[in-house]
């Protein structure tokens, strides 16, 4: 290579890096715009449900901040800290770090949850007394850091103490002060089961203060201290207590600064992977908050989060804080696939695979094949309730199969499919292959409650949708893996002859009946449209009559606000092409009336599940679930919008802009070199493909397909007539 060529290559690389950095800065600025502001202390901490305080987390460890200016309380939860009592398993709180500064009693209150930097900032002022703080949970270490600065005109005294579990909880080792290192530490044991109890240790130290004994400090005006707490379980380290103590004892101020730099880099990389820009800033802020919540409580290699994420502030969490399989456990992950964060869902598959042996036993006890699950499971195969209690619902394992299907569809990860996805789907398929009954030339689902305990319903619409999607994907996935060729004939037969969705007439219009025999209608929940979403059995390419019935169903149900329906309703509406202005108006109302200050929506059922509803924004901007990429398929014509690197089925990253009624800047990047099919963004014009910045072929028609290569970037441009 010549010298001039080296210079040209270097300049090109620098330009590329500069453009990439600029794009990342822009995204971080956009996320930072949605910083949540608290003007009063949280009202629901501690709680048996979802707390309303500022949230921090790194996928395993979670912290929610609460309390008054004179006593800030940092509640610590951990996804792996479970009590294993048979029939009463549940997640427990770890405990809390309490920061007390008496001089701030009655101080003004200002706190911020900055999602761009994943930190909580506070300022409390009372007369000449003023303190600023910044707290963060390290993105890659189980470490809580709080930096305090005296921003006032007088000296301030304060102290830090640890409380274990829910205060007063019996059978716990109490905090102890290590005078040689001025470290306070405790160990908590989840239960007394021999050889099974989970244990966790918390060690806390103050850096930068030489005053007082133990965890006390005195701050002169302008002075700072840093409080660090390491949280280590016996799953993190066999020497967990030693590891926690060692981690904080070695830290210096420069070490904390280095960790914070890496922490911010992790989150900057996270946010750079996709974005949306829409006029409704309230909805947009909740879209980013949805991704923030999942990233804080679910990461590869960690135990999966339950109903309340890793923000557990009691030993008696609602519904055990467990994994409910009739939608709650699956739902938080709905948004991650097309948002280009599919890796956040990996703990989900670990949890299900750990329960497969129990699922096989449960099926066998009932004389069935394959796997069948109760409604409630926990990590490591735990059963928080009766291990046979399925509430009459046969659909739980098939409901969980959707996430396995999406992981493969959106990533085209053959290794995942071979090792995890297909083995799980094969077991679920085995169950349904033998559970279905062939009657009168069609396959029938008998004795399957559509609602919990609704009775021996026949052909419930949800189960029909789930079974439809299950066998459709078993066929295509077995072809991708080149396995089970003989079995495909049976699966195709089931797919082709599965009973149709039952219908009825209400107010003069055809709508779905909840089941063919049994439950006809329910004024609550959204199970009547869940064969549309999440099951994905009906979409814009479906039979026009089915689409009309589905849209009639939306009108008849009108579940725009529902204790259990936010995770499915709005996306189903987008998938059916319901008036987009109506969708956005109703969603905006939910954000106003249902949102807690930390931007998590709260309903009667579940906690982190409600982030799922904001998947509807992705589906309004770009749909691909039917294998066809559609640009702005359900977006208001009078609203500009833009998105970047939303992930489409087939492992494509898609970007586009909608401005003044026109679509532009359409770019499709192919990760795996699959064939790509798109709905023509300009149906009356030919479309020129620009492959890796080089003009290539032109195509035409309302829909067209083209070949791609791995890592190829393809821009679509309308040709001028």
Same domain, 259 and 287: no
In this prediction, residue 4 carries a pLDDT of 36
Same domain, 149 and 246: yes
Residue 404 has pLDDT above 50, yes or no: yes
Residue 13 has pLDDT above 60, yes or no: no
**402-418 b/e with 16+ CB inside 10 Å = b?**
bbbbbbbbbbbbeebbe
DSSP reduced 3-state for 285: helix
- Given a contact cutoff of 8 angstroms between Cβ atoms, the answer to whether 396 and 374 are in contact is yes
Which residues neighbour 717 within 8 Å (Cβ) at sequence distance 6 or greater?
666, 687, 688, 690
Residue 16 has pLDDT above 60, yes or no: no
In this prediction, residue 219 carries a pLDDT of 95
Q: What is the CATH number of the domain that holds 192?
A: 2.70.98.50
Residue 315 has pLDDT above 50, yes or no: yes
Angle formed at CA 535 by CA 534 and CA 538, multiple of 5 degrees: 105
Same domain, 251 and 400: no
Residue 28 belongs to a domain: no
- What percent of the chain clears pLDDT 90, i.e. is strictly above it? 91
Instruction: Provide mean pLDDT across the span 260-267.
Output: 98
In this prediction, residue 179 carries a pLDDT of 54
In this prediction, residue 525 carries a pLDDT of 92
Same domain, 221 and 330: no
Domain span including residue 424: 275-631
Task: State which of 219, 250, 271 marks the end of a domain.
Answer: 271
Residue 6 belongs to a domain: no
In this prediction, residue 182 carries a pLDDT of 81
- Given a contact cutoff of 8 angstroms between Cβ atoms, the answer to whether 178 and 289 are in contact is no
Residues for the chain: how many in total? 721
Domains held by the chain: number: 3
667 vs 708: CA distance, rounded Å: 13
Query: pTM for this one?
Result: 0.95
Closest C-alpha to 370, from 382, 356, 355 = 356
Same domain, 324 and 302: yes
Same domain, 228 and 110: yes
Closest C-alpha to 320, from 390, 385, 374 = 385
Same domain, 677 and 584: no
Residue 13 belongs to a domain: no
Instruction: Provide mean pLDDT across the span 165-194.
Output: 74
Give the dihedral sign, CA 456/457/459/464: negative
Residue 531 belongs to a domain: yes
Same domain, 112 and 254: yes
Angle formed at CA 333 by CA 330 and CA 337, multiple of 5 degrees: 130
Tens of pLDDT, residue by residue over 540-556, are: 999 999 999 999 999 99
Residue 325 belongs to a domain: yes
486 vs 364: CA distance, rounded Å: 25
For the CA atoms of 333, 429, 474, 274, the dihedral, rounded to the nearest 10 degrees, stands at: 0
DSSP reduced 3-state for 125: strand
CA distances (Å), origin 645, targets 33, 217, 278, 288, 514 = 20, 48, 15, 14, 37
Residue 255 has pLDDT above 50, yes or no: yes
Task: State which of 220, 236, 271 marks the end of a domain.
Answer: 271
Residue 312 has pLDDT above 90, yes or no: yes
Same domain, 57 and 153: yes
Same domain, 254 and 159: yes
Residue 71 has pLDDT above 90, yes or no: yes
354 vs 582: CA distance, rounded Å: 42
Q: Which residue has the higher pLDDT, 702 or 181?
A: 702
Give the dihedral sign, CA 373/379/385/387: positive
Under the banding of pLDDT at 50, 70 and 90, the label for residue 174 is low
Residue 304 belongs to a domain: yes
Residue 180 has pLDDT above 60, yes or no: no
Same domain, 260 and 293: no
Same domain, 248 and 310: no
Residue 507 has pLDDT above 50, yes or no: yes
- Mean pLDDT estimate for the chain: 94
Residue 175 has pLDDT above 70, yes or no: no
Residue 699 has pLDDT above 70, yes or no: yes
In this prediction, residue 21 carries a pLDDT of 40
522 vs 446: CA distance, rounded Å: 19
Tens of pLDDT, residue by residue over 418-458, are: 999 999 999 999 999 999 999 999 999 999 999 999 999 99
Task: State which of 578, 600, 631 marks the end of a domain.
Answer: 631
- Given a contact cutoff of 8 angstroms between Cβ atoms, the answer to whether 666 and 648 are in contact is no
Residue 172 has pLDDT above 70, yes or no: no
Residue 667 belongs to a domain: yes
Residue 7 has pLDDT above 70, yes or no: no
Q: What is the CATH number of the domain that holds 479?
A: 1.50.10.10
Residue 210 has pLDDT above 80, yes or no: no
- Given a contact cutoff of 8 angstroms between Cβ atoms, the answer to whether 493 and 513 are in contact is no
Match 């600064």 to its residue by tokens.
257
Residue 30 belongs to a domain: no
Q: Is 711 left (phi over 0), alpha (psi -120 to 50) or beta?
A: left
- Given a contact cutoff of 8 angstroms between Cβ atoms, the answer to whether 302 and 78 are in contact is no
């Amino acid at each position: 290579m010549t010298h001039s060529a080296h210079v040209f290559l270097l300049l090109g690389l620098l330009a590329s890096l500069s453009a990439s950095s600029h794009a990342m800065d822009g995204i971080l600025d956009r996320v930072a715009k949605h910083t949540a502001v608290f003007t009063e202390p949280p009202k629901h901490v501690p709680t048996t449900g979802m707390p309303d305080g500022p949230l921090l987390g790194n996928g395993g460890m979670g912290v929610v901040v609460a309390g008054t200016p004179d006593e800030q309380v940092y509640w610590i939860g951990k996804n792996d800290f479970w009590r294993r009592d048979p029939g009463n398993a549940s997640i427990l709180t770890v405990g809390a770090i309490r920061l007390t500064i008496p001089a701030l009693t009655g101080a003004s209150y200002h706190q911020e949850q900055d999602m761009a930097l994943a930190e909580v900032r506070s300022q409390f002022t009372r007369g000449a007394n003023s303190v600023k703080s910044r707290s963060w949970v390290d993105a890659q270490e189980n470490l809580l850091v709080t930096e305090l600065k005296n921003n006032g005109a007088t000296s301030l005294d304060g102290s830090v103490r640890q409380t274990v579990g829910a205060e007063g909880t019996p059978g716990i080792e109490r905090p102890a002060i290590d005078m040689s290192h001025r470290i306070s530490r405790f160990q908590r044991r989840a239960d007394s089961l021999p050889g099974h109890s989970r244990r966790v240790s918390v060690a806390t130290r103050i850096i930068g203060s030489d005053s007082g004994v133990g965890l006390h400090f005195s701050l002169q005006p302008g002075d700072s201290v840093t409080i660090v707490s390491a949280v280590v379980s016996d799953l993190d380290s066999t020497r967990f207590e030693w590891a926690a103590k060692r981690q904080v004892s070695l830290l210096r101020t420069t070490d904390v600064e280095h960790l914070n730099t890496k922490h911010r880099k992790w989150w900057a990389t996270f946010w750079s992977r996709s974005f949306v820009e829409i006029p409704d800033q309230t909805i947009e802020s909740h879209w980013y908050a949805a991704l923030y919540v999942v990233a804080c409580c679910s990461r590869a290699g960690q135990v999966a989060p339950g109903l309340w994420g890793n923000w557990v502030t009691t030993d008696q969490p609602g519904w055990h804080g467990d994994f409910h399989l009739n939608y709650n456990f699956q739902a938080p992950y709905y948004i991650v696939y097309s948002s280009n964060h599919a890796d956040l869902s990996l703990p989900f598959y670990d949890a299900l695979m750990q329960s497969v042996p129990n699922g096989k036993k449960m099926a066998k006890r009932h004389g069935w094949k394959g796997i069948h699950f109760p409604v409630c499971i926990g990590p490591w195969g735990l059963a928080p309730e009766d291990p046979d209690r399925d509430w009459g619902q046969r659909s739980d394992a098939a409901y969980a199969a959707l996430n396995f299907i999406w992981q493969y569809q959106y990533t085209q990860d053959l290794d995942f499919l071979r090792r995890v996805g297909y083995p799980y789907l094969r077991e679920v398929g085995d169950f349904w292959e033998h559970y279905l009954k062939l009657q009168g030339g069609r396959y029938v689902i008998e004795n399957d409650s559509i609602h919990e305990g609704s009775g021996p319903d026949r052909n419930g619409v949800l189960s029909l949708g789930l079974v439809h999607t299950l066998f459709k994907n078993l066929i295509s996935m077995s072809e991708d893996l080149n396995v089970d060729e003989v079995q495909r004939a049976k699966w195709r037969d089931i797919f082709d002859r599965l009973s149709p969705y039952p219908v009825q007439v209400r107010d003069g219009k055809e709508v779905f009946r909840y089941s063919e025999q049994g439950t006809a209608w329910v004024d609550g929940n959204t199970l009547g449209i869940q064969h549309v979403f999440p099951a994905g059995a009906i979409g814009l390419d479906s039979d026009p009559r089915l689409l009309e019935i589905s849209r009639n169903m939306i009108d008849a149900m009108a579940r725009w606000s529902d204790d259990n329906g936010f995770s499915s309703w709005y996306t189903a509406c987008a998938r059916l092409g319901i008036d987009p202005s109506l969708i956005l108006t109703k969603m905006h109302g939910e954000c106003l009336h249902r949102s807690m200050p930390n931007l998590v929506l709260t309903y009667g059922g579940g906690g982190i599940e409600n982030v799922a509803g904001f998947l509807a924004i992705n589906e309004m901007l770009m749909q691909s679930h039917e294998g066809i990429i559609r640009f702005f398929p359900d977006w208001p014509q009078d609203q500009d919008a833009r998105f970047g690197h939303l992930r489409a089925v087939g492992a494509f990253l898609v970007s586009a802009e909608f401005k003044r009624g026109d679509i532009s800047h359409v770019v499709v990047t192919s990760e795996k070199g699959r064939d790509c099919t798109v709905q023509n963004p300009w149906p009356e014009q030919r479309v020129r493909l620009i492959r890796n910045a080089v003009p290539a072929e032109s195509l035409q028609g309302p829909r067209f397909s083209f070949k791609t290569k791995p890592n190829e970037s393809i821009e679509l441009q309308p040709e001028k007539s």
